Amino acid sequence: MAKKEAAQAPENAEAKPAGKMKLIIIIVIAVLLAVGLSVGGTLFFLGKKDAGADEAKAEASAEPAVPVKQPAIYEELSPAFVVNFNHQGRARYMQVSVALMTRDQAALDALKVHMPVLRNRLVMLFSGQDFASLITPVGKEMLRQQATASVQELAEKETGKVTIEQVLFTNLVLQ
């Protein structure tokens, strides 16, 4: 009888751990399955959002892109322009330092070839001014706008596009 109990004890001892082992394996498989389904579901739903984002990007690229404004490039024209004119019988002088503002270096380089013509236009424009109107700030601004229009016209004629945004006076002396 002792042998029967001894023989039954090891069988029961092996049976219990095998049953617990099956339970642990089932729990581990269930946890792995839950994690896998969670990751799969997340990727599935995020994939739908990315597809929507891709469609939105495709629509946005189909629309004309707004050009990014390039940094300004300044070209100082030296030497300064010195012109003379008569005002009420007196000789008057004007010295103007001019800078050109553009955003396209290649177009500016193309315009530099025509610098003698540009300087000639500006000298003729400056020498044809009335001294009394140049004394006022409004007169100076009008002259700057006329100079800008003249340079833009030359740039359009010679290079095929308006390359200069503004003509700026960096120094203006009247005497």
Report pLDDT for 167: 94
Cis-peptide, bond into residue 67, ω within 30° of zero: no
Please tell me whether residues 56 and 82 are part of one structural domain.
no
Q: Identify whether residues 120 and 161 lie together within a single domain.
A: yes
The pLDDT value given to residue 77: 92
Task: Please state whether the predicted TM-score (pTM) of the whole model is above 0.85.
Answer: no
Asked if 29 and 80 sit in the same domain, the reply is no
Q: Are 108 and 163 in contact (CB under 8 A)?
A: yes
66, 82, 108: which is the final residue of a domain?
A: 66
Reported as a pLDDT band with limits 50, 70 and 90, residue 64 is low
Q: How confident is the model at residue 175 (pLDDT cuts 50, 70, 90)?
A: confident
Answer yes or no: do 143 and 166 share one domain. Answer: yes
How far apart, in whole angstroms, are the C-alpha atoms of residue 130 and residue 85? 8
- Provide the pLDDT for residue 81: 93
83, 135: one domain = yes
38 and 118, same domain (yes or no): no
**Three-state SS at 110:** helix
> What pLDDT is stored for residue 53 in this prediction?
56
Residues 56 and 11 in one domain: yes
47 and 127 assigned to the same domain: no
The pLDDT of 104-128, averaged and rounded, is 92
The reported pLDDT for the residue numbered 58 is 53
**pLDDT reading at 118 higher than 60:** yes
Q: Is 75 helix (H, G, I), strand (E, B) or coil?
A: strand
Domain hosting 31: range is 1-66
22 and 59 together in one domain: yes
pLDDT tens readout for residues 67-78: 678 899 999 999
